[in-house]
């Protein structure tokens, strides 16, 4: 297992549309293990393959308090949604930024597991929000896209400033 680098907004790689997973093999299982390790280390509750510059329809999630309920979702499709809810969302690709986003309250997702077997997931609350958030990544969409253009630009500037302040100062000779 290995911790992967998480791509950060406004990197254009986050806008790449993911392709379906067609091969379910040991390499896929290693990728899933890397994604869980990366997500837990970050720390986060969800990670889409797009966020580590792998453009396949794959998400990992764990919304449990104990971090003991890992969920792998491959080639997901929302087949039913109901209601509306507003959650304050954050994102590993947009560190330190949080905003209210409206999403479906309940969803039914058809997908595949790491072995390619079909699965149906019924989700509500935080799990529903997390699945929808991560599925957006597979389409090249970020939660900041739900914000006004002005707020999105403020987020971009804030992240650029954070990166500049985090860079080590050059040592003069």
The model's pLDDT over 80-92, given as tens digits with 9 standing for 90+, comes to 999 999 999 999 9
Give the E-state strand segments of the chain in sequence order: 46-48, 58-61, 71-82, 85-91, 94-103, 106-112, 118-124
Mean pLDDT of the chain: 94
For residues 129 and 107, give the distance between their C-alpha atoms in angstroms, rounded to a whole number.
9
Give percent above pLDDT 70 in the chain.
96
For residues 46 and 59, give the distance between their C-alpha atoms in angstroms, rounded to a whole number.
7
Would you state the pLDDT for residue 169? Answer: 52
Mind listing the pLDDT tens digit for each residue in 12-57?
999 999 999 999 999 999 999 999 999 999 999 999 999 999 999 9
User: Residue 161 in contact with residue 38, Cβ under 8 Å?
Assistant: no
User: Residue 76 in contact with residue 57, Cβ under 8 Å?
Assistant: yes
Please state whether beta strands 94-103 and 85-91 pair in parallel, antiparallel, or not at all (unpaired): antiparallel
Would you state the pLDDT for residue 165? Answer: 87
User: Residue 111 in contact with residue 59, Cβ under 8 Å?
Assistant: no
Say how many Å lie between the first and final Cα of the chain, rounded.
Answer: 40
The better pLDDT of the pair 171, 65 is held by 65
Would you state the pLDDT for residue 173? Answer: 43
Q: What's the DSSP call for residue 66?
A: T
Residues recognised as catalytic: 134
Would you state the pLDDT for residue 168? Answer: 63
Is residue 73's pLDDT more than 60? yes
Mind listing the pLDDT tens digit for each residue in 106-138?
999 999 999 999 999 999 999 999 999 999 999
122: Cβ contacts below 8 Å, ≥ 6 apart: 106, 107, 108
Question: Which ranges in the chain belong to alpha helices (H)?
Answer: 26-41, 125-138, 149-166
């Amino acid at each position: 297992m290995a911790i992967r680098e998480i791509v950060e907004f406004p990197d254009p790689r986050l806008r790449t549309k993911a392709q379906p997973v067609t091969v379910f093999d040991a390499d896929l299982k290693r990728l899933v293990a890397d994604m869980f390790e990366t997500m837990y280390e970050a720390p986060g509750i969800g990670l889409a393959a797009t966020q580590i510059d792998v453009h396949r329809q794959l998400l990992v999630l764990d919304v449990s308090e104990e971090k003991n309920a890992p969920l792998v979702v491959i080639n997901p499709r929302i087949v039913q949604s109901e209601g509306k809810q507003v959650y304050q969302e954050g994102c590993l690709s947009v560190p330190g930024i949080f905003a209210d986003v409206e999403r479906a309250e309940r969803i039914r997702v058809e997908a595949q597991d790491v072995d390619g077997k079909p699965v149906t997931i019924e989700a509500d609350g935080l799990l529903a929000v997390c699945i929808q958030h991560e599925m957006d990544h597979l389409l090249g969409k970020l939660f900041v896209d739900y914000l006004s253009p002005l707020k999105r630009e403020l987020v971009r500037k804030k992240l650029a400033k954070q990166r500049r302040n985090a860079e080590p100062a050059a040592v003069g000779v």
